Amino acid sequence: MYKETLFGLINGVSVYLFKLENTKGTEVKITNYGARIVAILTHDQFGDKGDIILGYDTLADYQNDKHYLGAVVGPCPGRLSENKFTLEGVEYLLEKNTPSGHLHGGSKGFSFAIWEVLEYSDNRLTLRHQHRHLDSGYPGNINVELTYALDNQNVLSMKSKVFSDRRAIFNITYHPYFNLKGQGDILDNTLTIHGEKVVDMGIDWSPSGHLLSVEDTPFDFRTAKKIGKDIESSHQMIKLTSGYDQAWIVGEKGNMKTVASISEPSSGRVLNLRSDMPALVFYTGNFLHGIRGKQNTEYKKHTGFCMEPQQYPDAANQKNFPSVIIEPNRIYESETQYCFSLEKKFRCF
């Protein structure tokens, strides 16, 4: 029978761990602190079950986390140019929560909130959070409802539903770090990204507002290749981020499609990503340096990768990018799916 487990207390408020499980024995563990994915246990090609998510053993470690392990990120992921944006003629200055400026929604963003639990069953969890007006500098009382669901085809879906009491900007993404082998680095994983363009970025890591063709660049994953093949490239954006941490344009907003696929040779595990978002940030854990995670495991550079489907980054400041403005009292919905399979067996999507 499904049952939540107490994970700890934050200022006297109970925080829980929830387990979703399907008939294949796949397990997903989620905490309502930051709506974070804490663990995903799947079988490899030998029938052994292992955890493919980087994370921590304690709630205190998640509270002190600087890398957004497993987190839901919002109201806006990534960086915004000059830590500000203008909406309806009003300039909003955002909290500088890192030495380099505003990142991932700030210290009062979705990743550090205790989400309310609305529904929980053996394969479904619905959480809710209200991001208050001017938290971290963002306008609007933004209400977010998020449902995790695990089906018997090994598809984990995340469905979000959002509305605000006033015009606001909104762009949600998911930040679990995957390691399909469960240990070591991810450089020999084979990756496909269905994107022909990547967002150009300046030396401050903010988007320039221009799109670059992936043709003849390290960012061309239209044909599957190993992550490590070009990760040491001299391309200025690779050097800037010490690996991959760029946004690919992968289709139209609202159109559900396969965005990327990745496989790991020794375990045989395959991860397929589907989303109705127009962009995908692919990040190779470039700044995981000496992080102590589960069972005191040391997470190093390239120990994990993130697939972060989202709207165009910094769209609030880029006139050429599709708008991320949400209108008051209208419901906006989106969905992302992770499908877990094996190379030599059933392949979803």
Residue 151 carries which side chain, given as an amino acid letter?
D
Catalytic residues: 175, 308
- Which DSSP symbol is given to 205? S
Is 230 assigned a ligand-binding role in the annotation? Answer: no
Do 123 and 149 meet the contact criterion of CB atoms below 8 Å apart?
yes
Is 176 assigned a ligand-binding role in the annotation? Answer: yes
Cis peptide bond N-terminal to 313, omega within 30: no
Unique residue bearing structure tokens 């946004």: 247
The span from the CA of 285 to the CA of 308, in Å, is 12
Do 115 and 302 meet the contact criterion of CB atoms below 8 Å apart?
no
Is 62 assigned a ligand-binding role in the annotation? Answer: no
Count other C-beta atoms under 10 Å from residue 301's C-beta: 14
Counting DSSP H helices and E strands in the chain, the numbers are 2, 27
Phi and psi angles of residue 19, each rounded to the nearest 5 degrees, phi first:
-120, 125
Is 216 assigned a ligand-binding role in the annotation? Answer: no
Distances (CA, A) of 273 to 88, 92, 107, 203: 35, 34, 28, 29
Phi and psi angles of residue 240, each rounded to the nearest 5 degrees, phi first:
-60, -40
Q: Which residues are annotated as a binding site for beta-D-galactose?
A: 175-177, 245
- Binding residue positions: 175-177, 245
